[in-house]
């Protein structure tokens, strides 16, 4: 159960790292899914991703035949960045964020945080169900059930607090010019 809570927070961190904040980062594209070799694969498994300067990301696939597939994946993504294909690599020039784009990204951050909260509530529900089943089957006592439920709730509150602080931090970084 605790591992599931931690995975949710780690997933939220990876989602936040993929949000564009006006400067180049490999995190913008590394988990982007690309249709290659008959299946959908993460871009980081198909190419070398580098950040040559603060305003651009370079994606150099190990198989040059994947250039068009990578370019297509970037175009259909929600990055709103036009890739430049020079025949050897794809260059993404990161434009400065407008005020409107910043507000849109803050909304995305809120949605991602709410998805994380829903996920941890689901984990809590599964854990509470398991504890009740164990008590019903006589594996634990009623007192142990109460302590376990209290521990689950405390862990949920701690994770919610972590999600809230990460969300505020990301929103502040997005709104800082």
d(CA 150, CA 166): 24
DSSP letter assigned to residue 41: E
Q: What is the pLDDT of residue 3?
A: 84
d(CA 79, CA 113): 19
Over the stretch 70-127, which tens digit does the pLDDT of each residue have? Answer: 999 999 887 778 899 999 999 998 887 788 878 888 888 999 999 999 999 999 999 9
* Range of the structural domain that residue 166 is part of: 2-12+98-175
What is the side-by-side strand order in the sheet with 56-61?
47-53, 56-61, 90-93, 83-85
Q: Are residues 143 and 161 in the same domain?
A: yes
pLDDT for 158 beyond 80: yes
The domain boundary, picked from 93, 124, 142, lies at: 93
DSSP letter assigned to residue 104: H
The domain boundary, picked from 93, 119, 153, lies at: 93
Q: Are residues 116 and 65 in the same domain?
A: no
Q: Strand 56-61 to strand 90-93: parallel, antiparallel, or no bridges (unpaired)?
A: antiparallel
pLDDT for 19 beyond 80: no
Q: What is the pLDDT of residue 12?
A: 87
Would residue 167 be called left, alpha or beta, if left means φ above 0 and alpha means ψ between -120 and 50 degrees?
A: alpha
d(CA 27, CA 44): 10
d(CA 177, CA 169): 14
Angle at which helices 99-136 and 2-17 cross, to 10° = 170
Average per-residue pLDDT for the chain: 88
d(CA 168, CA 128): 29
Q: What is the pLDDT of residue 20?
A: 61
Over the stretch 112-132, which tens digit does the pLDDT of each residue have? Answer: 999 999 999 999 999 999 999
d(CA 172, CA 162): 15
Q: Is residue 17 part of a domain?
A: no
Q: Are residues 79 and 42 in the same domain?
A: yes
The domain boundary, picked from 37, 68, 93, lies at: 93
């Amino acid at each position: 159960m605790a591992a599931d809570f931690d995975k949710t927070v780690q997933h939220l961190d990876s989602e936040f790292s993929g949000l564009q904040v006006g400067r180049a980062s490999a995190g913008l594209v590394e988990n982007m899914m690309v249709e290659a070799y008959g299946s959908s694969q993460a871009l980081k498994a198909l190419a070398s991703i580098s950040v040559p300067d603060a305003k651009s990301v370079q994606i150099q696939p190990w198989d040059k035949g994947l250039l068009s597939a990578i370019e297509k994946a970037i175009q259909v993504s929600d990055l709103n960045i036009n890739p430049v294909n020079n025949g050897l690599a794809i260059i993404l020039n990161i434009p400065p964020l407008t005020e409107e784009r910043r507000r849109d990204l803050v909304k995305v951050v809120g949605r991602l945080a709410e998805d994380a909260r829903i996920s941890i509530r689901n984990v809590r529900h599964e854990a509470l169900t398991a504890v009740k089943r164990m008590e019903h089957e006589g594996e634990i006592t009623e007192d142990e059930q109460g302590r376990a439920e209290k521990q689950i709730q405390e862990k949920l509150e701690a994770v919610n607090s972590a999600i809230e602080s990460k969300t505020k931090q990301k929103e502040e970084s997005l709104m800082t010019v």
